Amino acid sequence: MIYDYSEKVSEDIIAIGIGHWEIGHGDYFVGEIGIIDKDGKEITQAKYNRVERFSDGMAAVGVGDWVTDWYTVFEGKWGFIDETGNMVVMPS
């Protein structure tokens, strides 16, 4: 599969996304993001709007929208997943 976004978020995990890039008040990806392992096996479906780097076995995931005024910020709910894709802390 061809992705519109990819970013290494741990030694063995890559965030992948389907959507498009917004260029302007800070470049950002608009779409749905999931994670795969280094062999390309899906860990989670593309269902988040943000996925941060893993730290201590967890990554922050965001569900929400980008808001642009004078600058662009992500406004949404944040939760945490573990390296197997299980939701550890529900977005709130």
Residues 27-59 pLDDT 10s: 889 899 999 999 999 999 999 999 999 999 999
Query: Residue 70 — very low, low, confident or very high, per pLDDT cuts 50/70/90?
Result: low
**pLDDT for residue 27:** 82
**pLDDT for residue 18:** 96
CB atoms within 10 A of CB 26: 11
Total structural domains within the chain: 1
First and final C-alpha spacing in the chain: 31
Cα–Cα distance for residue pair 42/46, rounded to 1 Å: 9
This prediction has a pTM of 0.88
Range of the domain at 84: 5-89
The pLDDT of 66-76, averaged and rounded, is 76
**pLDDT for residue 13:** 98
**pLDDT for residue 65:** 86
